[in-house]
Copies of this chain bind each other. A is one copy, B any other.
Amino acid sequence: MGTTSNTARGKPAPSDVAAVSGERPLRADAQRNRTRILQAAESVFASEGIEVPVDLIAEKAGVGVGTLYRHFPTKEKLCEAILLERLAGLTADARALADADDPGAAFFGFLEHVVEEATAKRDLLVAVMGAGVAFDLAASEVKEDLRAAVDVLLARAMAVGAVRPDVTASAVMGLVSATCHAAAHDAAPSQDLLGIVCDGLRRQDHAG
């Protein structure tokens, strides 16, 4: 899913935004290092959690800590950068589905997509969607964008009766985040958990 949106994501240039928004053009090696750091951080955070020492990230990226800190003045900023990127990606994916033929499929498909993403890259998404940490500051706007995009999918899915009428986008995001969280630990395969949650989200026409 989300083919259209892939332009907004992917490995090619995770630092596009920063590079463009920055004033001067950044020396070639600096640009390269920045990218390396982002990729390393993403990978390490994903496999070890946000707790890992910054030194490890620098090492994995093949740069010194000094370099890392020149690009991202704070560990928190580094996390933020990655998170924002990822959230933006999801938002794009959601928007790409906004006028899909089957609103129900679009909605549930998106949820599945999110869970897949988050399962692959443990912690991160979960942390944000659950608003776990303190990135709320800068992330809030982006997060709000995502919520809005989800809201569109949700509204359309409701309109065709694919989703019960009494849920909010926040609740959906919370549940999805929760699913990832549970799956990330042990519990059960994320697909199973999500399946249950999705059934709960559908129009409830069960007897009692």
For residue A10, CB closer than 8 A to chain B, the reply is no
Tell me how many chains of this kind the complex includes.
Answer: 2
Task: Identify the closest chain B residue to A201 (Cβ).
Answer: B196
Interchain CB contact (< 8 A) of A178 among B167, B170, B175, B198: B175
Complex contact B205–A187 (CB within 8 A): no
In the assembled complex, which residues on chain B have CB atoms less than 8 Å from the CB atom of A177?
181-182, 187
For residue A109, CB closer than 8 A to chain B, the reply is no
A165 to B31, CA, bound (A): 54
A187 to B129, CA, bound (A): 9
For residue A71, CB closer than 8 A to chain B, the reply is no
Interchain CB contact (< 8 A) of A187 among B174, B187, B197: B174
Complex contact B197–A202 (CB within 8 A): no
A58-97: which have CB < 8 Å to B?
none
A residues neighboring B (CB under 8 Å): 130-132, 164, 167-168, 170-171, 173-175, 177-179, 181-183, 185-188, 192-193, 195-207
